[in-house]
Amino acid sequence: MTARQTPRPTPHQAPLRVANCSGYYGDRLAAAREMVEGGPIDVLTGDYLAELTMMLLWKARQRDPGGGYALSFLAQMHEVLGTCLARGIKVVVNAGGLNPAGLAAKLRELAAAGGLQPSVAHVEGDDLLARLPELQARGHDFAHLATGLPLAGSGVEPVTANAYLGGWGITQALRAGADVVVCGRVTDASLVVGPAAWAFDWAMDDWDALAGAVTAGHIIECGTQATGGNYSFFTEIPDPVHPGFPLAEIHPDGSSVITKHPGTGGAVTVGTVTAQLLYETGHPAYLNPDVVARLDTVRLTQQGPDRVAVGPVTGEPAPLDLKVCLNHRGGHRNSATFVLTGLDLDAKADFAEAALRDATGGPTAFAVYDLRREHGGEADRLTLTVKDPDPHAVGRGFFTAVAGTALAGYPGLYLEHATAKATEYGVYWPALVPSAEVEAVTVLGDGTRLPVPRPPAERPARALQADAEPPAPPSLADVRPQPLRRTRGDVHGRAGRTVRLPLGTLIGARSGDKGGDANVGLWARDDDAWRWLRGHLDVERLRALLPETAKLPVSRYELPRLRAVNFVVHGLLGDGVAASTRADPQAKALGERLRGCLADIPEDLADPAAAEFTRVPEG
């Protein structure tokens, strides 16, 4: 069956319905079928890549040089490709990973075996690994964004190096008639920007429209996180199990409506959308290769059940630089977890630590020796994580030493986790490269190669990230925070009595990782709670509530239109998720931990049913 070419939509037609069917490599396989069969859509997108995923795909390619892409995408296409072609649904994914050409070829084989003949294009040029020596010779140092250390002389030998591309290669492929566009490392939001620019024939300097598409793309990129997944107030969602995946109805001006198919689980509310907007963001100037989207100008409006209007959004010219994700081999790691229960827990922890130092040789025997104690429930846990270039030292050698302490340790000792097998880990190295140095190419199904045009750009990415003054928004009719004035008897800008309750009885949160940094965004659900949150939660108080942040740099940003504050804790995750020794290496639980901390909440804002509370006197 030959793909039926659909006419390109014009700005006067119905909104472009862009659906998501994957938030990461490993997401629900049935999502593609659910989105294609659950209701009308124009574009099916899937996000399969994260910083960690590139390292995983590199390992897969070591086993199979023809691999390096997300295999789950092929399984999904086996179920829905024929339907997509029959209905004119375009498919746009970043499942190509390190080998978009290989995945495009494999998809053609799969289609042919089923009697289908789709036009499959792919976008390449993001892979800079072979070009690193040339680019370094021209003066590009690929300095680590957190440490400033240049790549040269660092002792690091990257195994992957991929620039984050934008959406114009996708637009170009769709304009050429592609039914499926396979990408490597494009930004997550580009999967929506490319189809929207194609559908409405946007120009490269339609900044506001592009910014709106970036915002919609960011909201739906993580799948069900926009429809109630990982949501602070999940108990308010009538059907939280098996939530439907999100879709964005994009309008010609870039504004959108976030929704989901009727009859699916979960919910789409201002709260669920706000949570995802804050996820893994930093400065309100949200940098993408095609545009800078000002998240501090985003408006959200509940249009009806499971329908949230987004926009308009203010856009600024694209940055001159592209982010580059490099990964290198970090060595090998292993861990063992001891359970501490009953009486004398502090003494038992000290005993276990001394025994482990004696048995393993202690910190001097390994490149990294990290011992962490976690409190909780009926027992505490003491986890020792070791890292070393020598797999035997942290594998069989480490396990033998740990096991040898079992009968000589503290009373009630048992191991919750221990293994003789060391695991190789990668280390993430974020850097920048001028966009003019990256030669993206759209490759059509017949082999035609089309250079991807570059959008007009302005300031370097570092300058944009450092810009502390947001532009004046077009209107402040939605929320205008009031100056905070304290008088005797006031509590953080609000006069009256307070009740001591967990912060989360009033405030929602969403947290995540960006390399070695962690962000935690918090939002209020009405103007009064927002004004209290804005005045109450500063960097000093955050550090007091989350002691692990006390000695780390913390950035704080306000987003009044979302009634939100966003914190970025720099360096909390060390060298990133793959190398982190934290129990929560992606900082997924950081926001919920913060919501569990006690705060003095004004009595008129508190929910009387939240808990029995302790009154705090005025003044």
Strand partners, 39: none
Whole-number pLDDT of residue 609: 64
Q: Give the per-residue SS3 of 280-297.
A: CCCCCEEECCCCEEEHHH
Query: How high is the pLDDT of residue 602?
Result: 94
**If pLDDT is split at 50, 70 and 90, which confidence band does 580 have?**
confident
State mean pLDDT over 495-516.
91
Is pLDDT larger for residue 472 or for residue 447? Answer: 447
- pLDDT for 278: 97
Q: Which of 1-15, 215-229, 548-562, 584-598 is least confident?
A: 1-15
Given a contact cutoff of 8 angstroms between Cβ atoms, the answer to whether 478 and 299 are in contact is yes
Mean pLDDT of the chain: 90
Q: Which one is predicted more confidently, 180 or 378?
A: 180
Residue type, 335: S
pLDDT at 66: 95
Give per-residue pLDDT as tens, 119-163: 999 999 999 999 999 999 999 999 999 999 999 999 999 999 999
Contact 582, 590 (CB under 8 A): no
Which two tokens mark 564?
């939100």
pTM for this model (two decimals):
0.90
Residue 465 confidence (pLDDT): 62
Looking at residue 461, its pLDDT comes to 67
3-class SS of residue 140: coil
pLDDT tops 70 at residue 3: no
Q: How confident is the model over 240-280, as pLDDT tens digits? A: 999 999 999 999 999 999 999 999 999 999 999 999 999 99
Q: Measured at the alpha carbon of residue 56, what is the angle toward residues 53 and 59, in degrees to the nearest 5?
A: 155
Res 466: pLDDT? 60
DSSP state of 265: B
Confidence of residue 328 (pLDDT cuts 50, 70, 90): very high
pLDDT at 484: 33
Contact between 613 and 499 under an 8 Å Cβ cutoff? The reply is yes
- The residue count of the chain comes to 619
Cis peptide before 547 (omega within 30 of 0): no
Convert the pLDDT of each residue in 335-391 to its tens digit. 999 999 999 999 999 999 999 999 999 999 999 999 999 887 789 999 999 999 999
The secondary structure of residue 558, as a DSSP letter, is E
User: Residues with Cβ < 8 Å from 468, sequence gap 6 or more?
Assistant: none
**Residue 476 has what pLDDT?**
30
Determine the pLDDT at residue 462.
Answer: 67
Strand partners, 334: 386
pLDDT at 392 over 90: yes
Q: Which tens digits make up the pLDDT trace of 50-89?
A: 888 999 999 999 999 999 999 999 999 999 999 999 999 9
Share of the chain above pLDDT 70, in %: 90
d(CA 309, CA 255): 8
- Three-state secondary-structure class, residue 199: helix
User: For residues 225 and 511, is the Cβ–Cβ distance under 8 A?
Assistant: no
pLDDT at 486: 33
pLDDT band of residue 188 (cuts 50, 70, 90) is very high
Residue 614: pLDDT above 60? Answer: no
Average pLDDT, stretch 5-25? 75
- Residue range 568-575: mean pLDDT, rounded: 92
Q: What is residue 619's predicted lDDT score, i.e. its pLDDT? A: 32
Angle, alpha carbons 188-594-560 (nearest 5°): 60
Task: Please provide the distance, in angstroms rounded to a whole number, between the alpha carbons at the two ends of the chain.
Answer: 77
Which residue ranges form the domains of the chain, and what is each CATH number?
16-126+164-316 (no CATH), 329-427 (3.30.70.600), 485-616 (no CATH)
Confidence of residue 510 (pLDDT cuts 50, 70, 90): very high
* pLDDT for res 151: 96
pLDDT on residue 610: 59
What is the per-residue pLDDT across 205-214, written as a single tens digit (0 to 9) for each?
999 999 999 9
